[in-house]
Amino acid sequence: MEAQRYPDEFNGIIAGAPANNWSHLFTGFVWNEQAALNTPESSLPVAKLLTVQNAVLAACDSLDGVKDGLLDDPRMCRFDPSVLLCKAGDNSECLTAPQLETLKKIYSGPKNPRTGEAIFPGYPPGTEAAPGTWAAWITPADPASAIQFNFGNTYYGQAVFEDPQWDFRKFDFDRDVRFGDTKAGAVLNATNPDLRSFCAEGGKLLQYHGWGDSAISALSSIESRASARSFHDFWMEEAKPPARLRTSIACSWCLEWVTAGADTVRTDSIRSRRLKHGSKKALRRNRCWEPVPT
């Protein structure tokens, strides 16, 4: 928002996991709430999140060339959650039909029922059972206590509709989204791709996001960056896109920005670490930050 509305205030901005498309992000929260609370059987039990994650990794872990429990780019993973459908009764290693439906909706994100248009990206596969992710934000043991749902209810109930009786179950993903965009999104959203003033001031914008972010889908960061790049490619063919987006693999909130003489993060600045396990040393990671392919 600073880069878009107040381009002369900072010459360097780090936008970490930006919630810049506020009104649609929160629409996604209500989408997941409707999915998980559709019936008493709809929410995913916490214990099954590991079942889901293991199935994702079994299908996609090796796509990046390293079988290490991590997906370098979950967009490359074509995991079909239907393989998890219980075939002979419910158990911890499979999903019931209502649970499967919820999982598909969390992955897909909200869609406009009239136009089919995507309103906000879903959540990438691969970190469903990671600590502090889905079990806190989307599918906790007490389904109604999900952090996402609290945010979605307060935003639409209070800021948009100003109705203490507002009911998420009646939310219309066409009409109500447009109403929210007009009333609150116009103030809260930072989705203007025009960064020409910021560029003219010599501004640099570094954007990063963790794939395992279960609050703000990392895919929304990629969409925002693509939007700005497309705008600038069209309007400023000679200018370099101002944003550099890097995703962290598995680590949600780490960052090192080296400013001297460069406008990018030094990817070699976060080095491999070796941890002692008993008498042996094991290579824990050999990469942390990766630029999003262009």
Residues that bind Ca ion in the complex, under the rule CB under 5 A: 61, 64, 66, 68, 70
CB of 53 to Ca ion, least distance (A): 13
Cα of first residue to Cα of last residue in the chain, in angstroms, is 24
CB of 37 to Ca ion, least distance (A): 33
For residue 117, what are the CA distances in angstroms to 109, 110, 173?
A: 11, 9, 10
CA-only gyration radius of the chain, Å? 20
Q: Are 203 and 242 in contact (CB under 8 A)?
A: yes
CB of 216 to Ca ion, least distance (A): 23
Instruction: At 90, list the tokens.
Output: 């419910």
Residue 227, burial from CB neighbour count under 10 angstroms (0-12, 13-18, 19+): middle
54 vs 112 by CB, closer to Ca ion:
54
64 vs 223 by CB, closer to Ca ion:
64
Handedness of CA 173, 177, 179, 227 (dihedral sign): negative
CB of 270 to Ca ion, least distance (A): 18
Short-list 213, 151, 225, CA closest to 188:
151
CB of 211 to Ca ion, least distance (A): 11
61 vs 213 by CB, closer to Ca ion:
61
Short-list 179, 143, 139, CA closest to 163:
179
Our CA dihedral for 26, 29, 34, 39, rounded to 10 degrees, sits at -160
44 vs 77 by CB, closer to Ca ion:
77
CA pair distance 46, 140, nearest whole angstrom: 6
68 vs 223 by CB, closer to Ca ion:
68
61 vs 223 by CB, closer to Ca ion:
61
CA pair distance 265, 243, nearest whole angstrom: 12
Q: Where are the beta strands (DSSP E) in the chain?
A: 12-16, 204-210, 243-248, 273-277, 280-285, 289-291
58 vs 97 by CB, closer to Ca ion:
58
CB of 214 to Ca ion, least distance (A): 19
CB of 17 to Ca ion, least distance (A): 22
CA pair distance 182, 174, nearest whole angstrom: 13
CA pair distance 148, 217, nearest whole angstrom: 12
33 vs 64 by CB, closer to Ca ion:
64
Instruction: At 242, list the tokens.
Output: 């101002």
CB of 71 to Ca ion, least distance (A): 6
